[in-house]
Amino acid sequence: MEKYNLGITDSSLSTCKALLSLEQTIPNDSLFRDDVFEETCRRVQDRNEARVIRSISPYIVPSVEDLAILGATKLKCLIENVNEA
């Protein structure tokens, strides 16, 4: 990744600062909870990329279809696929 030669816009910087100032809630079943985060890091350390992606990705970018099933009605129009022809 390279820096954008015009820098960060004031709007983007303001948005980032606003997001960082908010308290973030961590779901109860997350590997990012304070009480399990260290073990999570230990278990994925020195593992291959596929293993790390399998373990961590769902917490960073949850399945849109799973979120729709769990009640995110605005997402019901979306579908996802993996390696489908």
Closest CA to 65 of 53, 56, 77: 77
At residue 78 the predicted structure's pLDDT band, cuts being 50, 70 and 90, is: very high
CB-CB neighbours of 43 under 10 Å: 14
Q: What is the pLDDT of residue 48?
A: 94
The pLDDT tens digits of the residues spanning 40-58 come to 999 999 999 999 999 899 8
At residue 1 the predicted structure's pLDDT band, cuts being 50, 70 and 90, is: low
pTM: 0.56
Contact 42, 34 (CB under 8 A): no
